[in-house]
Structure 1
Amino acid sequence: MPTSRAPTVRQRRLGAALQRLRKENELSADDVGWRLGWSASKVSRIETARIGVRESDLRRLLKLYRATEHMRAELLALSHEAGKKGWWADFPELRDDLATFIALEDEADQVLTFESQAVNGLLQTEDYARRLILGWDEVMPRPPAAIDRDLQVRMRRQQLIAPPRSLRLTVVLDEAVLLRRVGDATVMRRQLERLVELAGLPNIELLVLPLDADHGAGLSAFTLLEYAPAYEVTFPAMVHTESRTSSQIQDETVTHEYRREFQWLVERSLDQSRSVEFIQRVNAERWAR
């Protein structure tokens, strides 16, 4: 059964920090399990955030790893934060892959995204989002309650870009997104007006890749999520790609490649000022008729 019990980035940070400490002490999961009377699989599940760790167990691990007083305090504080439930847990019927992405997105410090098919979910109006969800429902019918839930989740995600969170977001939109009709002309007109409005926020950079720009790299849509260090624990960037299902990749080589791809797109896109003017012109010429 689908679950939205996706681990938060805080839980992932804690697990990664414990794994690093274990390796610095040249201990295997079997070694730790033997010394603490646990199974090796318990050690592994804690490090991969598949299960939480009780404070008493965390203290035993930190003592075994000879963590400094400062590191001990930081990780105990992180553990306290990691125990807090993410809002997506209130939607237990979410697909696992979507819940995982939401958990990663929720704590990102910066998001870089290229969209070639539709407006990014963080920027969608409710009518535009509903039409996209209903369109998929025509292919794979679901109960009305599931459609309402998906719309509610998408709108809830948008709190990230508003104060006080004000997530830093850079979006490259292929011009085709502005021309491709979702719903009727009214839906499109309001969506493009919303894009112009959001481009005025200090934390949002919105760029348009014109159709006559170089598309030679043939890049597909992707999202790169980056994280600031917290509790002296670095969390690596993640790449999210999506087709029928979504996937997240944490490999440093891969994320570096996507960062280069995003820069390639930025260099071929209009700057923000010209992009806003471009969106307004498309709206007036195509959707305001």
Structure 2
Amino acid sequence: MPPEASAQRVRVGGELRRLRLAAGLPGEHVARALGWSQSKVSRIEGGLHAITVKDIAGLLELYGVSDDLRAELLGVTAADNGDGAWIVRGSRGPASAVEPVTARIRQYQPAALSDLLQTREYARSVSEAMGDGDPDASAEARMRHQEALTATNGPQYDVVLDARALLLAVAPVDLVRNQILSLAVRAHRLTRLDLRVIPLGRPAAAFSATGFTLYDFRAADSPPVARVESPTGDAYFSTPDDIQRYVVLFESLQSVALESAESVRYLRSLAKELERYLCTSA
């Protein structure tokens, strides 16, 4: 190993090569797509070329990796470069990782239901409402991504969901009701899913205007990462102080929400009276 090649850089380079091969892309294709030389691709994969967060973001978008693997490799790269916060612009889409990389995912959703919990029909309606050019393909990709929740070595998934996110009228009432009931079934059956709902009108002892996701990774040298989404790009944070603030906020939001069993009962009750909240006429 050359002296300038850090262990993290070599690890990321090897993972990038594996992802490229899994995507069936020759190095020449990657180089042309990103406006690089082929030698740059080879040197990055061999850990012989310093890689920026911008460079790796372009590669990961091209390879169509899942959000958690994307967050891990960006986090390792940023740590190697001495960065603690960064913004990645560009489109994202749910996809399947080559292998599970997260030990635990903690997520707060104030306005929309997570991709990992959507039914196929609801996912299609959401994609269509967001102006997706191929909502069927997006829905299928989300279904593949959800396989991680039932995989033998899948992550623990802790979710705090504001009930208002379930009243987003992106689909007919019956479809939204089916989504809510599906959520109740998953929360009851999936052993690694801890879903807690903040009911409508609950006093806000803790509050966040934006949703966020915390990733804890299996690899010991991968720092925890917090991700905040926006329509044009995502912000990532990995410094210990930033992570601690998100952890404290998440735990505070959990304390406001109903316990898991109560959340299941609340979801079933909400599904029964959905017409009170959603317009049923065209």
TM-score normalized by the length of structure 1 = 0.62
Query: Cα 1:185–1:99, aligned 2, differ >3 Å: closer, same or farther?
Result: closer
Find out whether 1:89 has 2:63 as its counterpart: yes
Alignment of 1:167-206 (within 5 A): 167-199=155-187, 200-206=189-195
Contact 1:88/1:99 (CA < 8 Å) preserved in 2?
A: no
**Stretch deviating more after TM superposition (247-256 or 184-193):** 247-256
Find out whether 1:51 has 2:29 as its counterpart: no
Alignment of 1:5-20 (within 5 A): 14-15=8-9
Residue aligning to 1:67: none
Residue aligning to 2:261: 273
**Stretch deviating more after TM superposition (192-201 or 176-185):** 176-185
Q: How many residues align?
A: 210
Contact 1:101/1:248 (CA < 8 Å) preserved in 2?
A: no
In terms of Rg, which structure is larger?
A: 1
Contact 1:172/1:265 (CA < 8 Å) preserved in 2?
A: yes
Residue aligning to 2:221: 234
**Structure 2, gaps ≥5 residues long:** 1-5, 13-39, 49-58, 66-88
Query: Cα 1:121–1:238, aligned 2, differ >3 Å: closer, same or farther?
Result: same
Q: Percent identity?
A: 24
**Stretch deviating more after TM superposition (105-114 or 168-177):** 105-114
Instruction: Report the AA paired with residue 89 of structure 1.
Output: Y
Within the candidate set 173, 195, 198, 1:209 is matched to 198
Residue aligning to 2:137: 149
Provide the rounded CA distance (Å) in 2 between the counterparts of 1:242 and 1:102: 19
**Structure 1, gaps ≥5 residues long:** 1-11, 19-44, 58-84
Provide the rounded CA distance (Å) in 2 between the counterparts of 1:270 and 1:88: 40
SS in 2 for 1:164: coil
Instruction: Report the AA paired with residue 230 of structure 2.
Output: S
Contact 1:97/1:247 (CA < 8 Å) preserved in 2?
A: no
Within the candidate set 118, 121, 146, 1:158 is matched to 146
Query: Cα 1:99–1:121, aligned 2, differ >3 Å: closer, same or farther?
Result: closer
Residue aligning to 2:246: 258
Contact 2:226/2:237 (CA < 8 Å) preserved in 1?
A: yes
Give the Å deviation of 1:17: 7.5
**Stretch deviating more after TM superposition (173-182 or 277-286):** 173-182
Query: Cα 1:164–1:13, aligned 2, differ >3 Å: closer, same or farther?
Result: farther
Query: 4+ residue stretches of structure 1 with deviation over 3 A?
Result: 85-88, 99-106, 146-149
Provide the rounded CA distance (Å) in 2 between the counterparts of 1:248 and 1:105: 22
Within the candidate set 257, 260, 273, 1:285 is matched to 273
Instruction: Choose between structure 1 and 2: higher helix proportion.
Output: 1
- Report the aligned-residue RMSD: 3.7
Provide the rounded CA distance (Å) in 1 between the counterparts of 2:270 and 2:193: 20
Give the Å deviation of 1:241: 0.8
Find out whether 1:225 has 2:215 as its counterpart: yes
Contact 2:93/2:138 (CA < 8 Å) preserved in 1?
A: no
